[in-house]
Structures are given as C-alpha cells and as structure tokens.
Structure 1
Amino acid sequence: MSAERDELRELVEQPSEEDVPAALADVRRRGRSMGERRWPPAFFGAGRAERSDVADRTDEILREGFGRPA
C-alpha cells in the first residue's frame, strides 16, 4: 500500500460527524469527474487532411503558419 493511500485513510477518520456529509459529497463529486475523463478525448481524429504525410511535413506546415499569411 502506498504512503498516499495510508495518509488518505488517516485523513478520512479526522472529520467530525457533522462534517462527514460535506466531505463525502466532495469525494463523490471528485470520483464522478475522474470517471468522466476518457482517452482519447472525443475531438481526437476530428480533422481530415488532404494529404497523408502531415506528420512528416510538420516543420514545413509550421513554417507556413497553418495556411495563414506570416
């Protein structure tokens, strides 16, 4: 068991009974937000390139400024 997990267990025992509902709500909220993170994000692969050598041409593309005038 990690030192962080041990510390978390110790911290869980510290709040008074009156503080438990608020602490529990915070932990539940944190657990939900962590569970919602997916990899890769939905926007990955959203774009299409006319050419298949985009990765090979990175320096050239950056030099061109992504099609914008410099």
Structure 2
Amino acid sequence: MANYEYKVIEVKPGGFWGTILEPEKIETSLNALATEGWELVNSIDINGASYGQTSKVMFIFKRLREF
C-alpha cells in the first residue's frame, strides 16, 4: 500500500475589497510544488460572511512519502 504525505496551502484574496486573486502567482506556486512531486488533489473556496465573497482558497496536495 502506498504511503502519502499531504500539504495544504492557503491563498487569501488581496486588494482593498479583498476580491483580487492573482492567477499568475497561483500558477507559479502550483508549478513549483509540482516540480517537488506534489500533486494537486483538491481546492476549496472558503466563503466569508459578507455576500458570499471568497475569504480564502485552500489547495490540497499529496505526494508519495519517501522513507
């Protein structure tokens, strides 16, 4: 049976209203993790209390654990 390790990355929107996500920066981060062997398995949009705005996005990764 394969053993995995997991990593969770949190990205918070920026800008005055907290509504700006920068896809280019996220893509760069995702590609950097991929070169380290991390595979993106899920992403979760966490909504804030006001008007359903995104308060953060959680990215969940896994990779084979090395012994």
Class of the TM-score when normalised by the shorter of the 2 chains: under 0.3
Normalised to the residue count of structure 1, the TM-score between the two structures is 0.26
Higher relative contact order (CA 8 A, sep 6+): 2
**Which structure's residues are more often strand, by fraction?**
2
> Which has the greater radius of gyration?
1
Normalised to the residue count of structure 2, the TM-score between the two structures is 0.26
